[in-house]
Amino acid sequence: NAGVMQNPRHLVRRRGQEARLRCSPMKGHSHVYWYRQLPEEGLKFMVYLQKENIIDESGMPKERFSAEFPKEGPSILRIQQVVRGDSAAYFCASSPEDSYTEAFFGQGTRLTVV
């Protein structure tokens, strides 16, 4: 049973470009969570999704950031018009239907904006 898969592992974007981060949850998991880790900080919750639904996006910046978890395929975190302050590690976690506390994290995508 493969773990949570995130790709790419490293992503470099110039200011103003778009970044797309992908997350494939563990088999059988229908809940996906995105967290951001800024340098010298702990992880900060961004968004919680179920298939085709955004359940809680209270941690998402109001502009330029969006997330989706379609019926088929991975969850996508999209950052438009990236700025230097978006440079961070973005982690995805997934959990099964009936247990939020059994969340498993992926290896993260390290985004660098130059």
Partner 1 sequence: AQSVTQLGSHVSVSEGALVLLRCNYSSSVPPYLFWYVQYPNQGLQLLLKYTSAATLVKGINGFEAEFKKSETSFHLTKPSAHMSDAAEYFCAVSDGGGSNYKLTFGKGTLLTVNP
Residues near 32 by beta carbon (within 8 Å), at least 6 away in sequence: 23, 25, 48, 49, 50, 69, 75, 92, 93, 94
For residue 65, state whether it binds partner 1 (rule: CB under 8 A).
no
Residues near 44 by beta carbon (within 8 Å), at least 6 away in sequence: 35, 36, 37, 38, 59
Q: To which residue do tokens 């590690």 refer?
A: 89
Q: How far is the CB of 105 from partner 1 (least distance, A)?
A: 4
For residue 35, state whether it binds partner 1 (rule: CB under 8 A).
yes
Among 21, 26, 43, 79, binds partner 1 (CB under 8 A): 43
Stretch that binds partner 1, among 13-21, 29-37, 60-68, 74-82 (CB under 8 A): 29-37
CA distances from 77 to 21, 60, 65, 80 (A): 5, 10, 7, 10
Q: How far is the CB of 95 from partner 1 (least distance, A)?
A: 7
For residue 31, state whether it binds partner 1 (rule: CB under 8 A).
yes
Of the two residues 12 and 83, which places its CB atom closer to partner 1 in the complex? 12
Contacting residues toward partner 1, per CB under 8 A:
3-4, 6, 31, 33, 35, 40-45, 48, 56, 59, 91, 93, 95, 100-101, 103-108
